[in-house]
Every structure is written in C-alpha cells, then in structure tokens.
Structure 1
Amino acid sequence: MSLPKPVMRGLLGKRLRFHLPIAFTLSLVAAIAFKYGVTEPRKKAYADFYKHYDATKEFNTMKEAGIFESVRPSVD
C-alpha cells in the first residue's frame, strides 16, 4: 500500500480562496473593535475635558506656582 501523491498544482490558489476571506473579515472586525473600543471613548474623554477647561485659570495657577521662568507672579 502506497501513499497517494500530494496535490501540489493549484495549492496556493486553493488555500488563498479559503484563508483570504477569513483574514479580511478578521481584520475588519479588529478595525471596528478598535474604533469603538479605543478611539470613540478617547474622543469623548477629550471632549468632556475641554468642555470645562479654562486655559486662563490654568495659566494663572502655573504662573503662581512659579513654573514659568519668564513670567513673574503678579503682586496684587
């Protein structure tokens, strides 16, 4: 009893027809999961932060703390 010869002709095309749609589908699912799992919450967090952010108040706080070397704290 001998083993049958493996079919080598057209093997790449046959395997690509099987694996390419799977790879495409998985990459699409990963991209959608990243968009809604990472980028959308990040955009919402930035929007919430800047909704109540006061740049002038933050600047004055840092100025009073002495962080800036070129700006002297005002004497009120």
Structure 2
Amino acid sequence: MSLQKPLMRGLLAKRLRFHLSIAFSVSIAAAIAFKYTVTEPRKQAYADFYKQYDAAKEFKAMREAGIFESVRPSGE
C-alpha cells in the first residue's frame, strides 16, 4: 500500500483565495471598529466643545492674560 501523492496543482491559488478572504474580512472589521471606537467619539467631543465655545470670550481672556504682543489689554 502506497501513500497518495500530495495535490500540488492549484495549491497556491486555493490557499491565496482562503487567506485573502480572511485578510479582507479582518481588515474591514478593524476599520469598522476604529470608526466606532475612535473617530465617532472624537467627532462628538468636538461637536460638544464647539456648541459652548465662545471665541470672543476666549480672545478677551487671552488678551487680558498678555498672550498677544500686538494687542493691548483693555485696561491700558
């Protein structure tokens, strides 16, 4: 009784098809996970921050703190 020879013809294509489908699935899952765990909360945090942000008030506070060299504080 002899052992059957291994099937070599088409082996690369068969293995590539299997591994590429797994790699594609994992990359799509990673992209979706990144979108919902990183980018969506970040967009929401920016939206919440700018809902209450007052640029004029912030400018006035920085001007009075002396951060700007070209703008005098309002008290002088």
Once residues 71 and 30 of structure 1 are traced to their aligned partners in structure 2, the CA distance between those partners, rounded to angstroms, is 49
Aligned residue pairs total 75
Q: CA offset at residue 4 of structure 1?
A: 6.9
Q: CA offset at residue 9 of structure 1?
A: 3.2
Q: Aligned residues: percent identity?
A: 77
Alpha-carbon RMSD = 1.9
Long gaps (5+) in structure 1:
none
Q: CA offset at residue 70 of structure 1?
A: 0.3
Corresponding residue for 1:58? 58
2:61 partner amino acid? T
Runs of 4+ with >2 A deviation: 2-11
Bigger drift between 14-23 and 47-56 goes to: 14-23
